[in-house]
Amino acid sequence: MPITTISEKLSVSPQPSIEDIQSLHDKGFKTLINNRPDDEDPSQPGTQAESQEAKHRGLSYAFIPVTAGTITEADIRAFQRVVDESEGPAFAHCKTGTRSLNLYLIGEVLDGRLSADEVVEFGRSRGFDTSAAASWLEKKAARRPQVEGVFDKRTWSVQYVVSDPATRKCAIIDPVLDFDERAGATATINADAILDYVRDNGLTVEWILDTHPHADHFSAAQYLKEKTGAQTAIGERVVDVQKLWKGFYNWPELATDGSQWNRLFAHGETFKVGSIDAKVLFSPGHTLASITYVIGDAAFVHDTLFMPDSGTARADFPGGDARVLWKSIQEILALPDDTRIFTGHDYQPDGRAPRWESTVADQKKFNPHLAGVTEGEFVALRTKRDKTLPMPKLILHALQVNIRGGRLPEPEANGRRYLKFPLDALKGAAWE
């Protein structure tokens, strides 16, 4: 049994026999890791026999079976955890040792201790063909969209251009159409800056995505659709928000079938941004229709989680619900720990510069609304805080535009557009 020492904590080897396993303890190993699925060939001992023998010899045992083409990040993290937690050197094997070494190498690159270019040579110099680890890392890099955040300081909103480096196709998420409520003036400063970025980077816009009908700014989806011809989309439950606000605005003529968008996404639906896979999670609680877009390794969570130093979104708008928001957040936090989380607002606590990117791991560890907090505590703190928050200053302006996909009201006979406000419709809202 040729054993190759990889590090102080890890050696790899081809399939050991039961007698070989008996000798591991004397060789100073503390843990046996089996990376080989059972039944690959009839002569292998299999996990039950290996585990029994390991325990008999006082070794810890871990079964993390993988095949070359189906290694997941969870496998890599599980492998790392076992090696880390081993009280001394760990001994890992598959059929030849290559898969075990690949798991190690991918983990080293993901954690920045090794560069992806060094993976093949690392294996070759030790007698292994580790090209499968290199291609795993290449594929992962291709799944990683480039994300450009554009901060709108008037509404503390973050708009995104998410692009696929391979095809140069992109999606725009939650674009803002500028509005000054004092002058009743609209402008396309933010949307035009986004279009400049798209042009300067040679991108083609495939999608204009909204995470929910925003209550604090107009959506620039319609304007950008006219400029780019891209498809607009939002969560399918937007129809419930339309029905709710149709009543508030007393607009019998409003179509409440979501026909104002090109596509309505349901929970679990998938689509592509260029060659990158994207998936939709239904994330209600802040609104009835909120969704999260998971594009490659990046999740656009908009008003669920804010930055870890800022907590979470409010849940007191019509159709909001703190308990439902908690559930949606738990689903987001169940994504892999290194998923990049991009929030939709940053209210710049203590005047710090705006920030919008975190990770699932950061959120779990540092977000004061989540770390060590139970569902009951979350609901209590969210409800208490929401009682103190006045309505966003543009809620009544924004929803009449956003439930129509970012379309301004039609002009009247004089060519001018007018907004309409229900008085005393939002009961119980805090006054500033």
Q: Which residues bind ligand GSH (CB under 6 A)?
A: 155, 215-216, 303, 313-314, 345, 347, 389, 392-393
Task: Tell me the pairing of strands 31-34 and 90-93.
Answer: parallel
111 class by beta-carbon count within 10 Å (0-12 exposed, 13-18 middle, 19+ buried): exposed
Separation of alpha carbons 417 and 401, rounded Å: 12
**Shortest distance in whole angstroms from residue 286 CB to Fe ion:** 6
CB 246 within 8 A of CB 213: no
Identity of the residue, 80 or 155, whose beta carbon is nearer to ligand GSH in the bound complex: 155
**Shortest distance in whole angstroms from residue 157 CB to Fe ion:** 9
CB 2 within 8 A of CB 13: yes
Select the binding partner of residue 393 from ligand GSH, Fe ion, none (C-beta < 5 to 8 A, by kind): ligand GSH
Region class of 368: left (phi > 0), else alpha (psi between -120 and 50), else beta: alpha
CB 92 within 8 A of CB 79: yes
CB 33 within 8 A of CB 91: yes
Number of other CB atoms surrounding residue 410 within 10 Å: 8
Strand-pairing partners, residue 61, are 32
Select the binding partner of residue 355 from ligand GSH, Fe ion, none (C-beta < 5 to 8 A, by kind): none
Select the binding partner of residue 318 from Fe ion, ligand GSH, none (C-beta < 5 to 8 A, by kind): none
**Shortest distance in whole angstroms from residue 432 CB to ligand GSH:** 9
Select the binding partner of residue 392 from ligand GSH, Fe ion, none (C-beta < 5 to 8 A, by kind): ligand GSH
| 363's tokens | 């959120």
Identity of the residue, 226 or 432, whose beta carbon is nearer to ligand GSH in the bound complex: 432
28 class by beta-carbon count within 10 Å (0-12 exposed, 13-18 middle, 19+ buried): exposed
Identity of the residue, 303 or 362, whose beta carbon is nearer to Fe ion in the bound complex: 303
**Shortest distance in whole angstroms from residue 150 CB to ligand GSH:** 17
Select the binding partner of residue 345 from ligand GSH, Fe ion, none (C-beta < 5 to 8 A, by kind): ligand GSH
In 3D space, the residue among 273, 283, 151 whose CA is nearest the CA of residue 211 turns out to be 283
Identity of the residue, 156 or 197, whose beta carbon is nearer to ligand GSH in the bound complex: 156
**Shortest distance in whole angstroms from residue 56 CB to Fe ion:** 59
Which residues bind to Fe ion, rule: CB under 5 A? 303
Question: SS3 for 178?
Answer: strand
**Shortest distance in whole angstroms from residue 173 CB to ligand GSH:** 15
Region class of 278: left (phi > 0), else alpha (psi between -120 and 50), else beta: beta
| 133's tokens | 């680890």
Identity of the residue, 347 or 418, whose beta carbon is nearer to ligand GSH in the bound complex: 347
Identity of the residue, 27 or 393, whose beta carbon is nearer to ligand GSH in the bound complex: 393
**Shortest distance in whole angstroms from residue 397 CB to ligand GSH:** 10
| DSSP labels, 153-166 | TTTTEEEEEEE-TT
Between the alpha carbon of residue 151 and those of residues 146, 148, 189, the distances in Å are 16, 10, 12
**Shortest distance in whole angstroms from residue 241 CB to Fe ion:** 11
Identity of the residue, 54 or 313, whose beta carbon is nearer to ligand GSH in the bound complex: 313
Residue carrying the six token digits 């209590």: 380
Select the binding partner of residue 389 from ligand GSH, Fe ion, none (C-beta < 5 to 8 A, by kind): ligand GSH
Residue whose CB is nearest to Fe ion in the complex, by number? 303
Identity of the residue, 236 or 303, whose beta carbon is nearer to Fe ion in the bound complex: 303
Select the binding partner of residue 314 from Fe ion, ligand GSH, none (C-beta < 5 to 8 A, by kind): ligand GSH
Q: Where are the alpha helices (DSSP H) in 300-392?
A: 322-333, 360-366, 375-388
Residue 239 phi/psi, 5-degree rounding, is -65, -35
**Shortest distance in whole angstroms from residue 331 CB to ligand GSH:** 18
**Shortest distance in whole angstroms from residue 155 CB to ligand GSH:** 6
Separation of alpha carbons 157 and 153, rounded Å: 7
| 257's tokens | 């079938």
Identity of the residue, 163 or 343, whose beta carbon is nearer to Fe ion in the bound complex: 343
Identity of the residue, 163 or 328, whose beta carbon is nearer to Fe ion in the bound complex: 328
